[in-house]
Amino acid sequence: MGLKIGTHKFDFQIDDSFFEDREYSMIQSGKVAVTLELEKKETMLIGHYSADGIVSVECDRCTDQVEIPVKGDFQLIYKFGTEPSDDETLIVLHPDEYEIDVRDSIYELITVSLPSKFVHPAGECNEEMIEILNQYSLVADEDEDEEWDDDNEEWDDDDEDGDWDEEEDEGDDDGPIDPRWSALKNLN
């Protein structure tokens, strides 16, 4: 309520205590600089969030901590009203509100800026854990030649050309083909 019409800038330094306060946070710790430019208009506020920093999460492969850089931005619109909104980017504020709690928005910005996989660079995973994974992996039990290739970040199955045998995929040698699949083959 006290903001004048125009743009207002707020800077936040996010540290470990921010993530510790979150009950089920996948982020263990971090240092992230977040900037919020809040543009106030007559009937709404437009928030431009941007974040840049590093967070610490569990490696998906070895479960040791790995530092992941985060950088991202997004926009939220705060509208004054009493009816709820289904739009994720629109937050409805009661006309009597005088504060905006931006903690959830900042946490969301940081988490959506993370990559889909959290893994150490090649060769930096906990070797003891990689050995245990190779020992108890179902794929390794089926074929003793397979083990995790840390350099290529994929399973090495000693396939020289790496291509699937197309004859195996078509199922020609497995017996009669379902007539529905036969009809689909002729669509070319």
Q: What is the pLDDT of residues 145-181, one digit of tens each?
A: 445 555 555 545 555 554 544 444 454 556 677 777 7
| Residues of the chain above pLDDT 70, percent | 79
In the prediction, which pLDDT does 13 show? Answer: 96
What's the rounded Cα separation, in Å, for the pair 173 and 166? 12
**For residue 3, what pLDDT is reported?**
79
Lowest mean pLDDT among 48-62, 85-99, 122-136, 153-167: 153-167
Span 11-23, mean pLDDT? 91
The beta-strand segments (E) located in 15-64 are 27-40, 44-58
Average the pLDDT over 13-21 and give the result: 91
Q: Which amino acid is at 53?
A: G
Q: Cα separation of 43 and 77, whole Å?
A: 11
The amino acid that residue 152 corresponds to is: N
How confident is the model at residue 150, as a pLDDT?
56
| Cα–Cα distance, 66 to 29 (Å, whole number) | 10
Query: What's the chain's average pLDDT?
Result: 81
Question: Angle at CA 130, nearest 5°, toward 151 and 161?
Answer: 40
Dihedrals φ, ψ of 90, to 5°?
-120, 120
26-35, 45-54, 122-131: lowest mean pLDDT where? Answer: 122-131
